[in-house]
Every structure is written in structure tokens, then in C-alpha cells.
């Protein structure tokens, strides 16, 4: 199995969270079960590692200010 990049891991966790919300909205899961599922997603070591890696990388390799400003204009 291929290792996901940190961005892919974060995106996968986002998708899992959206599926948990969808289950709640379609009444397949009640509110407490939805909250439990979201907490389980946030509690994944792989998600914490991915977020940490992205944050450290942004500190070590900061984007030029002009690039940041351009992304907010889009």
C-alpha cells in the first residue's frame, strides 16, 4: 500500500468527517455517534502527524509573501 502524503492524509480525514456529517444528516447516525466518530477522526495519530509535518515544513520552507498574497486574491 502506498504511503499517503501529509496533504492526502489531511484530505482523507476531511472526507471521513464529511461522510460522518452526511450520515448524521441522512439520519443513519445520531448526534452522539456523529460526535464520537468525529473525535475518532481527529484522534488519529496519522492525522496529527500529517498536520505536524505540514506545519513544520511551512516553518522550514516558508512561502514567499507575494505567493501568499496572491492565493488570497483568487
Asked if residues 35 and 49 have their Cβ atoms less than 8 Å apart, the reply is: no
Cell of 13: 480525514
- List pLDDT tens digits, range 9-55: 999 999 999 999 999 999 999 999 999 999 999 999 989 999 999 88
Question: Which parts of the chain are beta strand (E)?
Answer: none
Q: pTM (2 decimals)? A: 0.70
8-state DSSP, 44: -
3-state secondary structure of 25: helix
pLDDT at 21: 93
Amino acid at each position: 500500500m502506498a504511503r499517503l502524503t501529509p496533504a492526502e492524509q489531511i484530505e482523507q480525514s476531511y472526507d471521513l468527517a464529511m461522510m460522518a456529517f452526511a450520515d448524521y444528516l441522512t439520519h443513519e447516525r445520531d448526534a452522539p455517534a456523529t460526535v464520537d466518530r468525529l473525535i475518532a477522526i481527529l484522534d488519529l495519530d496519522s492525522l496529527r502527524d500529517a498536520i505536524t509535518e505540514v506545519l513544520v515544513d511551512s516553518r522550514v520552507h516558508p512561502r514567499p509573501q507575494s505567493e501568499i498574497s496572491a492565493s488570497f486574491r483568487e
